[in-house]
Structure 1
Amino acid sequence: MIRILILSDTHMPKKSKHLPGVLLDELNGCDLIIHAGDWQSIKLYEELKKRAPVKGVYGNADNDELRAILKGKILLEIKGFKIGVVHGHGKGKSTEKRSIEAFDDEEADAIIFGHSHIPVKKLHNGIILFNPGSPTDKRRQPNFSFGILEITNELIFNHVFFDSKE
């Protein structure tokens, strides 16, 4: 089994100086970290790389330093599954629709996106759509959140919801 921690919209250090304890606990034993943009700090990227390999994209709030090392979208192939990652920002349509359209020409099994800070897990035309929410800026959501993906012979996405970003 492969265990992947999924993040988006960390907005560090603006929204938090450090990652929440519950998230740090979940990082132990992860094989990969996927970040769907709006890191806001290369420091976070470097910190996460010390814990596990990191794959990610930049978001609309990310600076030139992050844009120089990250792409706007990526398509990962893990254990035969194709997983698209995009932030989802742009003009017109919803974040979800923009994220789906970003992979129109690809055969994705799942699409991970961020931007809205709203946790999403649903099926759309056979594709799993997953937004982990935000572990540091819940906005109008009841909880902070991030995601865990377990890959065996299928993709199993789950959210981790929590009350405090400490």
Structure 2
Amino acid sequence: MTARSSSSSATRIGLISDTHNLVRPEALRYLEGCDALIHAGDICKPEVLDALAHIAPLTAVRGNNDIGEWAAALPTHARLSVQQVTILVVHDIAELGCVPRDEGIRVVVSGHSHKPSIVERDGVLFVNPGSAGPRRFKLPISAGMLTIEGAQVSACFDALPT
């Protein structure tokens, strides 16, 4: 994946997961203006990816609910480099085991739990943007953002108005 260049030296990567075939207009507005997008799985229909790809270059992985021929073409893991930061994308963090320390992974983006979270462990930033799809339990509808400048990375997530 190659991110579009922006007017500043920072690259903004929109994070979305667990859309479960629901493309919320609020999510599309949140992701507008990003240099790139990551979808961390449970897409459920290829039209979701089509809608996101109109915003920015897209990296997506297959989730446990992504089935069919279109989904078989999606990887279960994806790795991308943005500026000096290597990002690993996986749907279910439990499938990852441990982060390969010798491979320079700085950020792991995952989904599956529908719970937004940002945790740094041993120099690796673990980001789950939560779910932008149908509401599950009392969890928020959310999406996230990575901002990368050189080797520096920061993450946030935001509840989307619904």
Distance in structure 1 (CA, Å) of the matches to 2:74 and 2:30? 24
Partner of 1:93: none
1:134 matched to 2:128? The reply is no
Unmatched runs of 5 consecutive residues or more in structure 2: 1-9
- Output aligned runs, 1:101-116, within 5 Å: 101=98, 103=100, 106-116=103-113
The superposition leaves residues 129-155 of structure 1 with CA deviations (integer Å, 9 ceiling, x where unpaired) of 000000123423442111011111311
1:121 matched to 2:118? The reply is yes
Partner of 2:20: 11
Aligned pair count reads 152
1:145 matched to 2:149? The reply is no
Q: Is the 8 A contact 2:89 2:108 kept in 1?
A: yes
Question: TM-score, length-normalised on structure 2?
Answer: 0.85
Distance in structure 1 (CA, Å) of the matches to 2:140 and 2:159? 6
Q: Is the 8 A contact 2:115 2:139 kept in 1?
A: no
Question: TM-score, length-normalised on structure 1?
Answer: 0.83
Which of 34, 49, 53 is residue 45 of structure 1 equivalent to?
49
Unmatched runs of 5 consecutive residues or more in structure 1: 89-95
Moved over 6 A (4+): none
Distance in structure 2 (CA, Å) of the matches to 1:9 and 1:103? 25
Displacement of 1:100 in angstroms is: 4.8
Distance change >3 Å, CA 100–CA 84, structure 1 → 2: farther
Distance change >3 Å, CA 64–CA 142, structure 1 → 2: closer
Displacement of 1:99 in angstroms is: 3.3
Percent identical among aligned pairs is: 32
Instruction: Please state whether the residue corresponding to 1:55 is helix, strand or coil.
Output: strand
